[in-house]
Amino acid sequence: MEFLIVLLILTLVVLVVTAPLRRPEAAAPARARDGGARSRARLEELEAAREAKYREIRDADLDHRTGKLSDADYETLDRSLRAEAVAILRELDRARAGAAT
């Protein structure tokens, strides 16, 4: 009897937790109403990547100033990080231009 009660409770918990996953048709109208949600999410993702890359550049600079990185290692790392930052900024500009149209 106790086993059945535990099984019933567990089944109810699983049903409640997985309910949103079992209703993709309920989420579709919300996506249709908010067509810009994907572009906003992409912008937020790129802005977060930009901030993370800036943080990496600052960390590398601090490591160089404190002697954790040699001049040669710092120059190589800094060049690479800045190139990645430029790529992120260009992608961010393209995403913003796409969202504006």
Q: Which residues have CB under 8 Å from 45's CB, separation 6+?
A: none
- What mean pLDDT is predicted for residues 7-33? 70
What local confidence, expressed as pLDDT, does residue 9 receive? 87
Domain boundaries, the chain: 1-33, 38-101
> pLDDT category, 27, cuts 50, 70, 90?
low
Query: 0.85 exceeded by the pTM?
Result: no
Selected residue with higher pLDDT from 78 and 98: 78
Whole-number Å distance between alpha carbons of 99 and 101: 6
Whole-number Å distance between alpha carbons of 82 and 91: 14
Q: What are the distances in angstroms from CA 44 to CA 24, 26, 39, 63, 92?
A: 24, 25, 9, 28, 9
Question: Cβ distance 66 to 7 under 8 Å?
Answer: no
Segment 34-73, tens digit of pLDDT: 556 788 899 999 999 999 999 999 999 999 999 999 999 9
Q: Tokens 């099984």 correspond to what residue?
A: 7
